A and B are shown apart, each in its own frame.
Chain A
Amino acid sequence: MSLQVMVVEDDREIRSLLQSSLSVEGFAVQTAVSLSEAYALLKHKPPDLIVLDLGLPDGDGLQLVRELRKQHSTPVIVVSARHQEAQKIELLDAGADDYLTKPFSVDELLARMRVALRHRGTSLAAAVTTHNLEDLRVDLAAHLVERDGEALHLTPTEFKLLARLVRSAGRVVTHRQMLADVWGPEFTEHTHYLRLYMAQLRAKIERDPTEPRRLLTETGVGYRLADA
């Protein structure tokens, strides 16, 4: 059975573009033009993945994500325009899985969907504890980080940061989420901690820390660990 994708988008052109390009890739696509329609479809049967546009005519996607997260772990990918930055981050913090900024290519969307679906599969089974990409190997259970087969020494905080990114490899983790998970919920405004520790981590993990290939920066949003 093919995977069900729900596209919530009020612009007709983009909706039909997404519908046709996702169908070609073998997804069964449902579309909704408003939040109320999306709610109705969700009640009937939740899909395997939701592509949610910001700026819908009848309200805020935040409510939908909060409502959804009470019962389901269905991946949600937020599609936003530049001026909706703040709203987008709010959604990510509320439990949306990833985001795309308009204009985006179909390639990018498909890549994000693949990552989101893979995580859903694993989150139902066991949590991600290992990460392998090119010369980098991370094993959280064994507390092991290797580059080119050589063990790297990370401080406890650096390790916690990396572990948080490994568990969401390929997906964006917002500043707020990282600060809350590594330092604690009372530190969510201390962005400078993140900047300083991430710089240390980049210096240890990246070959060229000024042009990172693994610890990617999502400017103004958070970080993403590159995934295969």
Chain B
Amino acid sequence: MVHDSRVQEQGAHSLRGWLAVALLLATATLCGALLDPFVTLTSQAMLYVLVVVIAAYRLDWVQSALCAVGAVTALNFFFVPPRWTFDVESQEHFIALVVMLVVALVISHLAASLRRESRHAALNEQRARQLQALASSLAFASAPQEIVALGQHALDAAFDGPNSLLLKNETDSSLSDVDLPDGVRDGLRCCMVECAVLGPGTGRWPGLNAWYLPLGDKGHVLGAARVWPALAEDSDGREHAQALCSLLAQTLWRARLAASMHAAQIEAQRQQLQSTFLAAVSHDLRTPLAAIVGAASSLQTQREKLSPSEQDRLLGSIASEASYLSTVTENTLQLVRLTSLQKELKRDWESLEEIVGAVLARVRQRDTARRIKSRVPPGLPLLKADPVMLAQLIGNLLDNALKYSEGEIDLIVNAFPQALVISVKDRGPGIAPAEQDLIFEPYRRSDQSGQRGAGLGLALCRAIAIAHGGSLTVRRRGGGGSCFIATLPLQEPQPERELA
């Protein structure tokens, strides 16, 4: 189809060319005749040279040569004495005619090669642009189908076609199931096996009428393409097809790597979560459950033998173990939610003063001796944070401090230009430097003392701090004890503080 129209176009083009030749010669003759009384033969000859140059520049070489011959003939016929004959009077006129013919042919030749070169340059530029456009549109593509569609589109834009672009099936390395003539299918398969370009000008299977190009390098062939028309001497076209194919292959390969890396990450995360859950059940849920069942069954069967105070102690133990169980469950669930990627923080502008106040109101129920001393400066900047998470972070740190230490506990908030820093300081046994990173791992609790901690508590605290773009660290205090430091970055810009 494309070719038919091109042939027609060429026909029209040459017809127009011949008309132009006739018109140019007629114009020159007319001008020469009009100027005849005032000028010499030399100027009339120059008029003919002018139209020959114009024809040579604009038209193809056959037309320009014929234009030159026509010009010489017309000059001879109309103006060279003896006029109205084809005879040439003197040798000088004969030489002028020959020179004019040579000039016409030389200019025509030069103009033609210039035209060819500029067409060539335009084509190369267009191809470079196409490569660039394809590269930038591929940068956003990740699905193989999407990449193939973009590639097919690029091939169709660069070559008349029909072009084909197929991916190899990952499992049986056959081609994706599309209706193709057997010859095409064989060509594609063969170029994938040989991992080389086949077709005219490549030295491999030169008898084919199209180029067959593999997508990818040896060992990593992801598919193949067929490009038509293919001419042996069109090495630029072949190189362009190869450039397109290698760009597509790189993108496909990148997409495949990204997909397998994502899958591996998800799998690793899934296994991590599973082991976290298992550890939660075995470490932290079984013991309090045993205590609850023990106390409850004792009350059930031995109530008459127990003194009222012993009964109260058992009831108290059931209530406190159950609340411990609920904390552990909450921490476990929250950690799983936070680390399983799907959980999005519910962020809003929050006041740390408020959150600390709410946490203290809850923790004070267990801190009847008021060991926690809090220091929160007024006028703190607001944090864009998930308040429930932050409350859990602070609450866990305070619960731990209450559990592992006897003396006073300091809760201090400091404001810096870039961040708010929450410190929880206790006078407990402290944490050995070697253990300082392990305590933030789920279930790597250091103590073997038989005392239970919220095994996931610190792991969750760190996960919460990290989810907010911050960090949680621990250091030994001079004079004994630990200091947990949570750093939460401030967001810019702060909401405006103008108040009525």
Q: Contact: B354 with A199, CB < 8 Å?
A: yes
Q: Contact: A219 with B358, CB < 8 Å?
A: yes
Q: Of B21-29, B78-86, B171-179, B492-500, which stretch is located at the interface?
A: B492-500
Q: Contact: A82 with B351, CB < 8 Å?
A: no
Q: Contact: A212 with B346, CB < 8 Å?
A: no
Q: Is A195 an interface residue (CB 8 A)?
A: yes
- A86 surroundings in chain B (CB, below 8 A): 346
Q: How far is the CA of A199 from the CA of B355 in the complex (A)?
A: 12
Q: How far is the CA of A200 from the CA of B388 in the complex (A)?
A: 22
Q: What distance in Å separates the Cβ of A13 from its nearest Cβ neighbour in chain B? A: 13
From A200, A216, A219, give the contact of B499 (CB < 8 A). A200
Q: What distance in Å separates the Cβ of A227 from its nearest Cβ neighbour in chain B? A: 15
Q: Contact: B495 with A192, CB < 8 Å?
A: yes
Q: Contact: B349 with A217, CB < 8 Å?
A: no
Q: How far is the CA of A156 from the CA of B499 in the complex (A)?
A: 11
Q: Is B357 an interface residue (CB 8 A)?
A: yes
A158-197: which have CB < 8 Å to B? 191-192, 195-197
Q: Contact: B349 with A192, CB < 8 Å?
A: yes
Q: Contact: B351 with A198, CB < 8 Å?
A: yes
From B348, B357, B379, B391, give the contact of A210 (CB < 8 A). B357
From B323, B360, B374, B382, give the contact of A103 (CB < 8 A). B323
Q: Is A67 an interface residue (CB 8 A)?
A: no
Closest A residue to B337 by CB, please name it.
A83
Q: Contact: B376 with A195, CB < 8 Å?
A: no
Q: Contact: A198 with B354, CB < 8 Å?
A: yes
Q: Is B378 an interface residue (CB 8 A)?
A: yes
Q: Is A84 an interface residue (CB 8 A)?
A: no
Q: Is B387 an interface residue (CB 8 A)?
A: yes
Q: Is B285 an interface residue (CB 8 A)?
A: no
- A220 surroundings in chain B (CB, below 8 A): 346, 386-388, 391
Q: What distance in Å separates the Cβ of B358 from its nearest Cβ neighbour in chain A? A: 4
- B257 surroundings in chain A (CB, below 8 A): none
- A191 surroundings in chain B (CB, below 8 A): 348-350
Q: Is B356 an interface residue (CB 8 A)?
A: yes
Q: Contact: B358 with A218, CB < 8 Å?
A: yes
Contact A157 to B376, CB < 8 A, known contacts A82-B333, A198-B351, A220-B387: no
Q: Contact: A83 with B333, CB < 8 Å?
A: yes
Q: Is B143 an interface residue (CB 8 A)?
A: no
Q: Contact: A155 with B500, CB < 8 Å?
A: yes
Q: How far is the CA of A86 from the CA of B346 in the complex (A)?
A: 10
Q: Contact: A199 with B358, CB < 8 Å?
A: no
User: Could you say which interface size class chain B belongs to?
Assistant: 20 to 34
Q: Is A203 an interface residue (CB 8 A)?
A: yes
Number of interface residues of A (CB under 8 A): 27
Q: Is B154 an interface residue (CB 8 A)?
A: no
Q: Contact: A157 with B322, CB < 8 Å?
A: no
From B346, B351, B375, give the contact of A195 (CB < 8 A). B351
Closest A residue to B411 by CB, please name it.
A210
Q: What distance in Å separates the Cβ of B234 from its nearest Cβ neighbour in chain A? A: 63
Q: Is A209 an interface residue (CB 8 A)?
A: yes
Closest A residue to B379 by CB, please name it.
A199
Q: Is B320 an interface residue (CB 8 A)?
A: no
- A192 surroundings in chain B (CB, below 8 A): 349, 382, 495
Q: How far is the CA of A186 from the CA of B467 in the complex (A)?
A: 30
Closest A residue to B496 by CB, please name it.
A192
Contact A195 to B349, CB < 8 A, known contacts A155-B500, A209-B378, A217-B355: yes
Q: Is A58 an interface residue (CB 8 A)?
A: no
Q: Contact: B357 with A212, CB < 8 Å?
A: yes
Closest B residue to A213 by CB, please name it.
B361
Q: How far is the CA of A161 from the CA of B256 in the complex (A)?
A: 57
Q: What distance in Å separates the Cβ of A194 from its nearest Cβ neighbour in chain B? A: 9
Closest B residue to A216 by CB, please name it.
B361
Q: Contact: A210 with B374, CB < 8 Å?
A: yes
Closest A residue to B372 by CB, please name it.
A211
Q: Contact: A103 with B499, CB < 8 Å?
A: no
Q: How far is the CA of A174 from the CA of B355 in the complex (A)?
A: 16
Q: How far is the CA of A195 from the CA of B351 in the complex (A)?
A: 6
Instruction: Pick from A155, A191, A195, A200 the residue with the most CB of B within 10 Å.
Output: A195
- Give a binary string over B476-500; 1 marks a CB under 8 Å from any A CB, 0 the rest: 0000000000000000000101011
Instruction: Pick from B326, B359, B495 the residue with the most CB of A within 10 Å.
Output: B495
Q: Is B330 an interface residue (CB 8 A)?
A: yes
Q: How far is the CA of A85 from the CA of B348 in the complex (A)?
A: 15
Q: Contact: B333 with A197, CB < 8 Å?
A: no
Closest A residue to B413 by CB, please name it.
A210
28 pairs from A and B in contact (CB 8 Å cutoff): A85-B388, A103-B322, A103-B323, A157-B500, A192-B382, A192-B495, A195-B351, A195-B354, A196-B382, A196-B497, A199-B353, A199-B378, A202-B357, A209-B357, A209-B378, A210-B357, A210-B376, A211-B361, A211-B364, A211-B374, A216-B358, A217-B354, A217-B355, A217-B357, A217-B361, A219-B355, A219-B388, A220-B386
> Interface of A with B (CB < 8 Å)?
82-83, 85-86, 103, 155-157, 191-192, 195-200, 202-203, 209-212, 216-220
> Interface of B with A (CB < 8 Å)?
322-323, 326, 330, 333, 346, 348-351, 353-361, 364, 374-376, 378-379, 382, 386-388, 391, 495, 497, 499-500
The 9 closest A-B pairs by CB, nearest first: A192-B349, A192-B495, A217-B358, A210-B376, A195-B351, A220-B388, A220-B387, A217-B354, A219-B391
